[in-house]
Structure 1
Amino acid sequence: MIFPVPILLFGLCNTAIARSLHRSVVQTSNGDIIGHSSDKYLNVVEYLGIPYAAPPVGELRFEPPQTYKGGPKYVASHYVSLPSLCFSMLRFWLPMNIDHDCPYVVGSTIDYPNKTPQFDKIMSTFTSSNNNSHSEDCLTLNIWSKQTYNDTLKPVLVHFHGGRWTSGTTNTPFYHGANFASAEDIVVVTATYRMNIFGFPGIPGKLSNLGLLDQRKAVEWVRDNIQAFGGDPSRIVMSGQSCGSAAADYWAYSYRDDPVVAGLISHSGTTDSFPANSPELSAQHWEELTSLMGCESGDVLGCMKRQNATALLTASSKIKPPVTSSAARTQPAFQPTVDNMTVFSDYGLLSKTGRFAHLVSCRIHKIPGVKLTVCHQPYLAGHNHNEAGFYKISAWAKGSTLPESEWQAFNKETFTCPTDDAVMARIRAGVPAWRFRYFADWNNTRLYPTSGAYHGVELNMIFGNSEAVTDIPESAYQVQLQKKMQRAWAAFVADPHHGLEKLGWPHFSLNGVFSLNGSNVKIQSNSN
């Protein structure tokens, strides 16, 4: 239950913080958290920058996430843009939690040929080149929930951003959850996690995939606290895009006996989209970095924990990345490592034997003389028609111009075929699964004349923020498709087993795939 609490503030700030006059206080394991009404969607309360783990700084750098000890009552207002005087007054009244992006190397502006007027704004918001502050004290999450006046709990979507394991943030219009929470009766959660050298250091003899462990910690925090925000802890669905999408697929294998979540959604990425590092390769990268930092002997880990974060990032960018199958399929040096706990070496074998997560809520199948209980974790996965439309930009910026045939091969090798394989593995194991392919190419989200349905563009349909991203209004057809997609995703979150069936979505098969193309939603033959 969410309880509105009026707050008396000084008259000087009345205009700037009018929406803050009606606030909401919830009790969590962190202590009391004060949210506020969203700027545009006044029926939605947002809580921003909530710590879900102890700051991974000092001795906690390169360590698994630790439990946050809690603190005083604070205002969760990370996205609030107020005059500095108003901030000072609010800080005087209550501590204010202003979080940061996890450290990453910020990209530069790209002067791509024939780019559209909105190109720079889209790229800066999607690739995290938006002048946010950075800090290792960054393990926070954000919650958007409609104000509730009864005890009915809502299903919960927890989404993890992409960024090729090297960059990314929740503090961008792409991932602002107020529109989705307002349009559908769900609670929307986004969370940050450690990336690059801080999230995937590959230290020999230690846990390697800290960023994935951060995600687990965030989901556990949601499970333990979301009821205070009107969410149902038994109906949590994990979603991700790009590397966040691969993380959702990893999850099904990593937490088979205690998945916490009731379903998984993958947007453009699976366990096989980008190969993980071997332990040997990650150890080599770590040793090269320690040498660059002057920490190659003695207390190596202690020395690395004392290094300046920016210096670590700069040095880590000099480590040669893994060799890949093509120039289009580049990967970073510091990324997930096979540890056979969070990341496995042979997903083909695991999928063939149906080693997916088991759920607490199961379905009972009655066979004559036998009552069989089967536990499944439903899966919704898909990709965009021209994922390469985005990847071509970074390749061009590095001086690489590849033939179209190689980009088409990249689309299939990295997204189309791995998505098919992941969904079909579920189908063979009796797990409910659906697959989508997004084709839409809108004027206001186009990057250049032939960018098409590029990597990440479908997020505008789910979070409903294309106008905020581009400053260009959506078309009527665009709004129509957005509503259809939000309805479908919310239906899956509410009921991963049957929600999409109720909307007419068939289970995926080798003969068909749901396509999302402009104003049309249809089944077409799966020829790829």
Structure 2
Amino acid sequence: MYSKRFAQPPVGSLRWEPPAPFTSDSLFDATTLPPACVQQFAFTNQTLDQTLFNDPPPPEDEDCLFLNVWAPAPLTGPLKPVVIWIFGGGFSFGTGSLPIYDGMSFAKNQDIVVVTSNYRTNVFGFPQSPDIPAQHNNLGFLDQELVFTWVQQNIAQFGGDKDQVTLMGQSAGSDAVALAILRHKSLADAPFRAGIMLSDVPLTTSTALNFSSFNAFALAVGCAQPLGSAARLQCLRAVPAAAIRSYTNGPTGGSSGFVVDNVTVFGNALQRIRDHQLAPVPILLGSMQEDGTFFSYGLTDLQAFLDSNRVAASLILSAPVVRLLYPGLSDPEIIAAVVRDIGFRCFGRTHMCGAGFPTSSGTRAVFPDTQVFPGAGAWHSSEVRILFGTYNTSTATAAEAILSASLQTAFANFVKNPAASPAQDWAAYDPGLLGIPVEPTLAAIAYNGNVDPDNFVQAEQQSNFVSHPGLFGAEEQLTRSTVWKDGPCAVWDLALD
């Protein structure tokens, strides 16, 4: 493993500035994992978030723009395919240095180069601030782009092939991969040749800017100068990072996220897909069977959920109607299923598959030692440890270890040759036209406890988001129908069971 600084420290006058490339002739200890960027854990969910996604807690520092490279020895010989991992965390927390993202197993077992990196999150990376130029409000994505550039310029020194780079991300990291594909308009422009997206593809974005959270933050840390002024920005840059973290992790910490800047994020994503204004790269697109349980944990009132959820903003849905769409499930199970279908399946599949380029999707693995909260099932991000081979070897079953090897091999096969089937019985997915039955070409992984390399993929006919049209308004149904006519889509469903 090699840890490298890829940007100048984004501190002091460089806070809320685009990342500046780092170059130096000085010696640097590249054998120690770097600190995480300053993190934010939502006050109402801190205990669960930190237990699942921040254990053990890594050191944090505003000086955090480092990347890590895992490369099989020797570094000489034919150049190897490269995968760049982008972590999740809702653009609020996360780091490429977490033990669960250790790339040693993946790199060593599959003879590929694995790169993980940090990018600025929460108010440091996605401030939604009127005090800086609009095109600088998605600093986390600019950090990621600089990582891509670093890989193009330097990965050969670690035995990697800059022409065989695949982006891979989960949750917010999956969002980042999708948005990178959308902002690079051609193969010549893209610093990657394929993308893997696990659990999330957000292609619906608002063009409205909301500065309320940032303005409240500025007042809370003692910067009451006029908004948008150089004086307020100067004041905010002088506030210690620890004080900012204390506020953002408190009960009134606010939220932040990416905005439409027409540089890293575009507001007309669906039209860009229809017009093929994106990098035409092969895609693996997947979700977990119980992707919604983490986000719906503790929710039991279905009608209250529908009333408060954005789905109900455009649809007047009653609990009895939705229950008909999910027969046999309890209300808490229905809430989790709705979160999964709306948040992690329907929009991503229909939109990205509409690009007309080779695509793929996936869902499910439930082992005793992965059940970290009641009713977890194959929960959001539970596949990451299995994929990276960083699961708990002291508690894992033999089946878990076998599935890890099977999954690693399939993903590595895609990284090595994204134009070919990743595994036995993994066919290209074609949803056909809306309402017309298709052959069972959805690759469901380990749905029936099958984990061996020659049988862990089970061909199934996609059903979830087509069988629940009542969850979508007329406009979205029209969108799905129109997009699907654009061309075939290969989708794998990661069914870790």
Instruction: State the Cα distance separating 1:499 from its structure 2 match.
Output: 5.2
Change (3 A) 1:169 1:125: farther
TM-score w.r.t. the length of structure 2 is 0.77
Cα deviation, 1:229-256, whole Å, max 9, x if unaligned, reads 0100110101111001100000111122
Calculate percent identity across the aligned residue pairs: 28
2:420 maps to a residue whose letter is H
SS of the aligned residue for 1:467 comes to: coil
Q: Which residue of 1 aligns with 2:36?
A: 101
Contact residue 40 and residue 248 of structure 2 kept, 8 A:
no
Q: 1:399-438, aligned counterparts within 5 Å?
A: 403-426=332-355, 429=356, 431-437=357-363
Secondary structure of the corresponding residue to residue 189 of structure 1: strand
Contact conserved, 2:287 with 2:344, CA < 8 A, in 1? yes
Deviations 1:463-491 (A, max 9, x none): 011116xx41x322222222221111111
SS at match of 1:130: coil
Over residues 205-241 of structure 1, what are the superposed CA-to-partner deviations in whole Å (9 max), with x where a residue is unaligned? 3411000110110111111111010100110101111
Task: Provide closer, same or farther for how the CA distance between residues 235 and 125 of structure 1 changes in structure 2, counting only shifts above 3 A.
Answer: farther
What is the distance in 2 between the residues matched to 1:442 and 1:186?
28
Change over 3 Å in CA distance of 1:442–1:109 after alignment to 2: farther
Matches within 5 A, 1:2-401: 46-48=1-3, 50-79=4-33, 99-105=34-40, 124=50, 126-148=52-74, 150-204=76-130, 205-206=133-134, 207-257=136-186, 258-272=189-203, 276=205, 278-281=207-210, 283-295=211-223, 296-297=225-226, 299-316=231-248, 333-357=255-279, 376-393=280-297
8 Å CA contact 1:165, 1:196 repeated in 2: yes
Q: Among 387, 407, 413, which residue is 1:485 paired with?
A: 407
What is the one-letter code of the residue matched to 2:259?
T
Normalised to the residue count of structure 1, the TM-score between the two structures is: 0.73
Question: In 2 relative to 1, CA 305–146 (structure 1 residues): closer, same or farther, beyond 3 Å?
Answer: same
Greater mean alpha carbon deviation, residues 306-315 or residues 168-177: 306-315
Would you say the 8 A contact 1:100–1:132 is kept in 2?
Answer: yes
Would the alpha carbon gap of residues 256 and 184 (structure 1) be closer, same or farther in structure 2, given more than 3 Å must change? same
TM-fit CA distance, 1:419: 2.7
What is the identity, as a one-letter code, of the residue corresponding to 1:285?
S
Could you tell me whether the CA contact under 8 Å between 1:196 and 1:335 is conserved in 2? yes
Following TM superposition, the consecutive aligned residue runs of length 4 or more in structure 1 with deviations greater than 6 angstroms are 107-112, 318-321
* Residue 136 to residue 71, structure 1, CA distance change in 2 (3 Å): farther
Letter in structure 1 aligned against 2:2: Y
The answer (yes or no) to whether the contact 1:387–1:411 under 8 Å persists in 2 is yes
**Aligned partner of 2:282: which letter?**
P
Asked whether the equivalents of residues 42 and 249 of structure 2 are also in contact (C-alpha less than 8 Å), the reply is no
2:375 to 439, 450, 457: 450
Q: CA deviation at 1:177?
A: 0.6
Residues 89-121 of structure 1: per-residue CA shift (max 9 Å, x gap): xxxxxxxxxx21100135799899xxxxxxx8x
Q: In the alignment, does 2:457 pair up with 1:525? A: no
Contact 2:75-2:159 within 8 A present in 1 as well: no
How far apart are the structure 1 equivalents of 2:333 and 2:429?
A: 29
| Conserved 8 A contact 2:85-2:117 | yes
Residue in structure 1 matching 2:417, options 481, 492, 495: 495
Maintained 8 Å contact 1:279/1:339: no
- The 3 A distance-change label for structure 1 pair 53 and 334 is same
Is this contact kept in 1: 2:202–2:348, CA < 8 A? no
Q: Match of 1:53, as an amino acid?
A: A
| 490, 505, 509: which one aligns with 2:430 | 509
Which structure carries more strand by proportion?
1
CA-to-partner distance for each residue in 1:286-323, whole Å, 9 max, x for gaps?
233223333233511111111121222343457979xx
Provide the C-alpha distance between the structure 1 equivalents of 2:116 and 2:107, rounded to a whole number of angstroms.
12
Distance 1:161 1:149, change over 3 A: closer
For 2:75 and 2:139, the matched residues in 1 are separated by 39
Report the Cα offset of residue 340 of structure 1.
Answer: 1.8
Partner of 2:327: none
Deviation of 1:435 (Å):
1.4
Aligned to 1:384, the other structure's residue is in SS state: coil
Secondary structure of the 1:387 match is: coil
Deviations along 1:125-148, one digit per CA (max 9) or x if unpaired, are 642242321111001111111102
Instruction: Check conservation: 2:37, 2:118, Cα contact below 8 A.
Output: yes
Q: Quick one: distance in 2 between partners of 1:333 and 1:504?
A: 43
Does structure 1 conserve the Cα–Cα contact (< 8 Å) formed by 2:35 and 2:59? yes
Equivalent residue letter for 2:30: A
1:423–1:508 Cα contact (<8 Å) kept: no
Is the 1:388–1:454 contact (alpha carbons within 8 Å) kept by the matching residues of 2?
yes
Q: CA deviation at 1:348?
A: 2.0
User: 1:310 and 1:290 mapped to 2: Cα distance?
Assistant: 15
**How big is the shift at 1:149?**
6.5
Structure 2 segments unaligned to the other structure (5+ residues): 306-330, 432-437, 465-497
2:308 is aligned to: none
- Give the match for residue 474 of structure 2: none
CA contact (8 A) 1:173 1:465 kept: yes
AA in 2 matched with 1:523 = A
Tell me the SS of whatever aligns to 1:141: strand
The alpha-carbon deviation at position 406 of structure 1 amounts to 2.2
Report deviation, 1:385. Answer: 0.3
Answer yes or no: is the 8 Å Cα contact 2:181–2:278 preserved in 1.
Answer: yes
User: Number of matched residues?
Assistant: 412
Q: Secondary structure at the match of 2:71?
A: strand
Is this contact kept in 1: 2:40–2:122, CA < 8 A?
A: no
